[in-house]
Amino acid sequence: MAQLLSSQTAFAYWQRVRAAVPLTLCLTNNVVTNWTANVLLAAHASPAMLDDESESEVLASVASALLINVGTLNAMHAQAMLKATASARRSGKPWVLDPVAAGLLPFRTTLCHRLLGDAPTVIRGNPSEILALAGEAAQSRGADSAHDSDEALPAAKHLATEAKTVVVVTGATDYITDGERTLRVDNGHPLLQRVTGTGCALSALVAAYVSTAVDKKEVMEAAASACAVFAVAGEMAAEKALDRNEGPGSFAVYLLDALAVLDGVALERRMRS
């Protein structure tokens, strides 16, 4: 049974991030750089980005956490990513892998498997990506998943056990598992699917949150808290946009607003318990 994350726990990690303003180094795809940086800034974290492998080690060493997102992968980025994760591993920095379109695209799948050697702290993906990374047959459609998160939970547990990591598989319900224990978050809103890069930005937020964790239990709670904060902000933004008969453009703007104003009261009111 997956255990529901409590709003108290989510609020505790929200407070840690707010106090630390973690510098989060993102090596991410070129569709979502601006959006990811703005999500991190709105959520009281601090983004840093780079393109060139020569900067990977320095930045990874000063950052509090690292995000590797393999969307729109190219050879230059692959090199920079490998250097950054090696640096993170050496210095014990937490890092998050977002395996965008793994399974569908061999270049990305191969790199993801290589990156697993540097022991990601968390892998955050949609059901298709997690199924594919776990070696199971999956269908994907570009960046979208053709599967439900429930369907992918067994694969997520298997992957977490094999790779000795925490796997976050997001969907209508988000599951966070280390293979033995599983947390879940039941918030969110379908409008999150109508804005590009919401999953990518969540992975960056997971990295920021995980930088405040001190052991595997806390990594799971921190990752789940990032999912909860993002999902609750999504609900707040959707409520405002729908109240005003607006659509995905306004929703994306309100999502940033909500990440900035969200607090313990909002988490308590909206998280199922």
- Quick note: the x/- pattern for a second copy over 145-184, rule CB under 8 A, is ----------------------------------------
Residue 125 interacts with a second copy (CB under 8 A)?
Answer: no
Q: At residue 23, what is the residue type?
A: L
At 182, give phi and psi (nearest 5°): -135, 130
Residue 15 interacts with a second copy (CB under 8 A)?
Answer: no
Nearer to a second copy, 63 or 219 (CB): 63
At 49, give phi and psi (nearest 5°): -135, 155
What CA–CA distances, in Å, run from 85 to 12, 32, 66, 89?
A: 28, 20, 8, 6
Shortest gap between Cβ of 70 and a second copy (angstroms)?
Answer: 11
Where do the H-state alpha helices sit in 189-262? 198-210, 216-243, 248-261
Residue 30 interacts with a second copy (CB under 8 A)?
Answer: yes
Residue 29 interacts with a second copy (CB under 8 A)?
Answer: yes
Shortest gap between Cβ of 25 and a second copy (angstroms)?
Answer: 8
- The residue among 89, 64, 80, 63 whose CA lies nearest residue 27 is 80
Residue carrying the six token digits 């997971």: 206
Residue 76 interacts with a second copy (CB under 8 A)?
Answer: yes
Rg of the chain in Å (alpha carbons): 17
Q: Which stretch binds a second copy (CB under 8 A): 3-11, 106-114, 166-174, 177-185?
A: 106-114
Which H or E run contains 16? Answer: helix 7-20
Residue 104 interacts with a second copy (CB under 8 A)?
Answer: yes
**Footprint of a second copy on residues 201-240 (CB under 8 A)?**
none
Residue 79 interacts with a second copy (CB under 8 A)?
Answer: no
Nearer to a second copy, 69 or 165 (CB): 69
- Quick note: the x/- pattern for a second copy over 34-53, rule CB under 8 A, is xx-xx--xx---xxxxxxx-
Residue 242 interacts with a second copy (CB under 8 A)?
Answer: no
Shortest gap between Cβ of 197 and a second copy (angstroms)?
Answer: 7
Nearer to a second copy, 241 or 271 (CB): 241
Among 5, 10, 17, 59, binds a second copy (CB under 8 A): 59
Where do the H-state alpha helices sit in 21-147? 33-42, 56-62, 75-91, 106-116, 127-133
Give the integer Cα–Cα distance in Å for 218 and 220: 5
At 122, give phi and psi (nearest 5°): -145, 145
Residue 74, SS3 per DSSP: coil
**Footprint of a second copy on residues 177-206 (CB under 8 A)?**
193-197
Residue 63 interacts with a second copy (CB under 8 A)?
Answer: yes
Give the integer Cα–Cα distance in Å for 189 and 191: 5
* Whether 166 contacts 160, CB under 8 Å: yes
Q: Which residues bind a second copy (CB under 8 A)?
A: 23, 25, 29-35, 37-38, 41-42, 46-52, 54-55, 58-59, 62-63, 71-77, 101, 104-108, 141-144, 193-197, 245-250, 252-261
